[in-house]
Amino acid sequence: MTHANWSYPTAIRFGAGRIAELAEACVQTGLKNPLLVTDPGLADLPITGQALDIIDGAGLGRAIFHDVDANPVEANMIAGVTAFKTGDHDGVIAFGGGSALDCGKLIAFMAGQSRAVWDFEDIGDWWTRADADTIAPIIAVPTTAGTGSEVGRAAVVTNEATHEKKIIFHPKMLPAIVIADPELTTGMPPFITVGTGMDALAHCLEAFCAPTYHPMSEGIALEGLRLVKENLPAVFENSGNIEARGHMMSAAAMGAVAFQKGLGAIHSMSHPVGAHFNTHHGMTNAVFMPYVLAFNRPAIEDKLVRLGAFLGLGDSGYSAIFDWVLNTREYLGVPHTLADLGVAGADVATLARSAVGDPTAGTNPRKLDEAAAARIFDATMTGDFSKLGN
């Protein structure tokens, strides 16, 4: 597969085998004593040992922190900051899927701050409260193809006290260098391959449908959707398909760049479910996807005609996209309802209130109020699309 060096939105070293350049990336970024942040599932795997060997062999140590939940919480970040300070580290290698990438970015961000992390939520200009000079450099090494956090300026962390996912933002949380090596993703189990791939699809689809004017991001979302359509089934069928895995890594990064344009109710509904029930974020997005499409239909129907034609689904617009999403989910084994995902005993009123308050709700193509959110939750629990009649 072709190797390439990209500088949009940051420096990206893309291609199979490029993990070998990790120590060089540290030197380029000025890191002499980095802390590698990952999750417990990756900590003892050969790919993590390989990364540690590379930096250790360059005299950069082999410090690792892996106390990171699948949906990172404040306590993970605090423990990571303690490890960062205790080890006198000067930067972070965020290594793994979205949880490790987000937690690693938060550790690098918060290590020098004196205010609580919630003071930097992605609201207005709250990011200007941070002491930017103390933010440590970050190198991101994704091992999944989904969140695109490696090219993002924000991170998601759960407030355990309120069971709310919060988006923390600062421009300097954007990693200085990304190493996107598709060989690192071949060991993902099918559930993670599907969940992360559907997350990339959700990012591209919601960004494309968001009503905000951002033609550059809209174009990126469009091509990201094509890459997912053509390559997610391929990696599901053959985990060792390096070319398809590379295209999925590109699609994941593209989705994260594209959602500068906005996201929508797929994410605003998914966030509180993940916070309350600890479900996999990408898989939760996948469950909500057709229900949100059905709710948004009046606002996106014309736009989906263009998308359907671009994806080679014909000129039937909404119906073609809706059927493609349903068929893709079924083929990949995505649960059809929240109940099938294992969500039970949900307090719909609380979830609906959190969904409406989530910042991603603001760019949903249709206004999302608590009554509408409750309807979507009810439909997604039961699989009854008639509850979303327009």
Tens of pLDDT, residue by residue over 154-179, are 999 999 999 889 999 999 999 999 99
Give dist(CA 225, CA 307) in Å, integer: 9
Pairing relation of β-strands 177-180 and 138-142? parallel
Q: In this predicted structure, what is the pLDDT of residue 316?
A: 76
List the domains of the chain with CATH numbers: 4-184 (3.40.50.1970), 188-388 (1.20.1090.10)
CB 221, CB 260: distance < 8 Å: no
- The confidence score (pLDDT) of residue 279 equals 95
**Residues whose CB falls within 8 Å of the CB of residue 126, separated by 6 or more in sequence, listed in order:** 119, 120, 169
For the chain, the 3-state helix, strand and coil shares in percent, each to the nearest 5, are 60, 10, 30
Is residue 91 helix, strand or coil? strand
pLDDT of amino acid 6: 62
Give the Å distances, CA to CA, from 356 to 32, 35, 232, 293. 44, 37, 31, 17
Burial class, 335, CB count within 10 angstroms (exposed 0-12 / middle 13-18 / buried 19+): middle
Structure tokens at 235: 């990696």
Confidence at residue 7, expressed as pLDDT on a 0 to 100 scale: 62
In 123-264, which ranges are continuous DSSP H helix? 190-209, 215-237, 242-258
| Token pair recorded at residue 175 | 């990693």
pLDDT in tens, the chain (390 residues): 678 776 678 999 999 999 999 999 999 999 999 999 999 999 999 999 999 999 999 999 999 999 999 899 999 999 999 999 999 999 999 999 999 999 999 999 999 999 999 999 999 999 999 999 999 999 999 999 989 999 999 999 999 999 889 999 999 999 999 999 999 999 889 999 999 999 999 999 999 999 999 999 999 999 999 999 999 999 999 999 999 999 999 999 999 999 999 999 999 999 999 999 999 999 999 999 999 999 999 999 999 999 999 999 977 789 999 999 999 999 999 999 999 999 999 899 999 999 999 999 999 999 999 999 999 999 999 999 998 876
Are the CB atoms for 356 and 373 separated by under 8 Å? yes
